[in-house]
Amino acid sequence: MAATTEDVETLVADRGYAAGFVTDLEQDTVPPGLNEDVIRFISNKKNEPQWMLDWRLEAYRQWMTMTHPTWPHIHHEPIDYQAISYYSAPKSHEDKPDSLDDVDPKLLETYEKLGIPLKEQEVLAGVKGSENVAVDAVFDSVSVATTFKDKLAEAGVIFCSISEAIQEYPEIVKKHIGSVVPRGDNYFASLNSAVFTDGSFVYIPEGVTCPMELSTYFRINAENTGQFERTLIIAEKGSHVSYLEGCTAPQRDENQLHAAVVELIAEEDAEIKYSTVQNWYPGDENGKGGIYNFVTKRGDCRGDRSKISWTQVETGSAVTWKYPSCVLNGDNSVGEFYSVAVTRGMQQADTGTKMIHVGKNTKSTIIAKGISAAQGEQSYRGLVKVVPSASNARNFTQCDSLLIGDRCGAHTFPYVESKNSTAKLEHEATTSKIGEDQMFYCQQRGLSEEDAVNMIVNGFCKEVFNELPMEFAVEAQKLLNVTLENAVG
């Protein structure tokens, strides 16, 4: 128990004093606004080495020269970056609902359907006093995590928060951070580089196959650290790892902006499988509230014969801007992208992937399934790029859109650039409406309208679900069914 308590303390406690900023845990919030002092405060708070602070500041200065991208096919109110508080900011007690009675009943209904226990519902909904429950939950998961930690340590695998990694393994972090997504990469990545508060760090040593699926579930992040997450996964030569991200419960979260960065590095013969189930709060049916999700995810197949595979099921967020990508540097390296994205209500998504072929005989596969219902707007945006060095590069792209109802939209923006004549690129795209014929066929066999939609949609997504780890696939399917409830008619 002692070890557990310590772990919890490291999770929740502030790390020492920062000169000039005398704060205690209760007032651990910087006022809204962003400037170099705020970044110094964050870095100090986390007891970071000088190089990390310098890196953040450099990112911030670059960000200052950049502008918000206008090319995505999404529309939202301009974001006031000076109105956001950039440090952890546990929500003030007064803002929280007193009990589940004060929580949007629709949200609770969804929890119910996903089979989430009452206590957990309180935590997720941010009910006053449920912090104790959260700590309990942390206790539980930390003890779970500790058992796993022993097993992982035995294998030499490092799995911890990025803040911890900066303290404990500064050399590894320093070497790799920003090597896949440079701090000046894009507007949101630069912002994240300047102000990231936490995230995950994974290091798999040479020749090791990680003995278990790594999941953020085992390392419940303190409330609100999700806003500017930064994840770094390094797979050394010949190692294998499967990483699961996300929580299938919709979070009640008032944070408008989420700008995360994920960097994956696969050395020779290494394999990384990264799975996401994202179900952030999508806003209500009138488009009020909801998360703006601007994420930069990129994997570098650095070594020969390395492989990086992205699998994602995205049903949440009001606005999604996300293109998990692979840079295929190593010869014979492989990149994969399997995606199901759902937009309904007033949700908007501009999402897809980039496959950059640099090495010889590199191969990439893109399977993107978009489902739009109600007034959901969805765009697939994908780039397949073959540079002159990438002889015999192969790509297969399939993007399918399924429309439910007649008020939603689906768009496809495929970009293909090939500078090598030996490359073979295939692109298939379909757009279909859930056919009345399909619906009638299922209903004539006895299925209810609801079950018929679920069956058709799940069939449509099957190729992607097949790529998810077993227990995730079941949850994803369930989530999709709940998400699309009453979508027809």
Tell me which residues touch another protein (CB under 8 A). Answer: 435-438, 440-449, 451, 455-456, 458-463
The distance of closest approach from Cβ of residue 430 to another protein in the complex, given in angstroms and rounded to an integer, is 10
Identity of the amino acid at 29: T
CB nearer another protein, residue 107 or residue 453? 453
The distance of closest approach from Cβ of residue 274 to another protein in the complex, given in angstroms and rounded to an integer, is 23
CB nearer another protein, residue 30 or residue 434? 434
d(CA 190, CA 222): 23
CB nearer another protein, residue 179 or residue 458? 458
- Helices of type H across 126-264: 131-155, 162-168, 170-176, 187-195
The distance of closest approach from Cβ of residue 341 to another protein in the complex, given in angstroms and rounded to an integer, is 17
The distance of closest approach from Cβ of residue 338 to another protein in the complex, given in angstroms and rounded to an integer, is 14
Report the b/e string of 437-460 with b at 16+ CB within 10 A: ebbeebeeeebeeeebbbbbbbeb
CB nearer another protein, residue 218 or residue 465? 465
CB nearer another protein, residue 149 or residue 369? 369
Q: How far is CA 114 from CA 88, 110, 248, 482, in A?
A: 28, 6, 8, 8
Q: How far is CA 242 from CA 113, 205, 209, 367, in A?
A: 28, 14, 9, 19
CB nearer another protein, residue 209 or residue 466? 466
The distance of closest approach from Cβ of residue 451 to another protein in the complex, given in angstroms and rounded to an integer, is 7
Q: Find out whether 298 and 329 touch, Cβ atoms under 8 Å.
A: no
- Residue in the block written with tokens 């809204």: 32
d(CA 60, CA 252): 29
CB nearer another protein, residue 158 or residue 442? 442
The distance of closest approach from Cβ of residue 34 to another protein in the complex, given in angstroms and rounded to an integer, is 46
Structure tokens at 420: 């090598």
CB nearer another protein, residue 158 or residue 371? 371
The distance of closest approach from Cβ of residue 294 to another protein in the complex, given in angstroms and rounded to an integer, is 31
The distance of closest approach from Cβ of residue 110 to another protein in the complex, given in angstroms and rounded to an integer, is 23
Rg (alpha carbons) of the chain, rounded to whole number: 22
Burial class (CB within 10 angstroms; exposed 0-12, middle 13-18, buried 19+) of 354: buried
Residue 299, SS3? strand
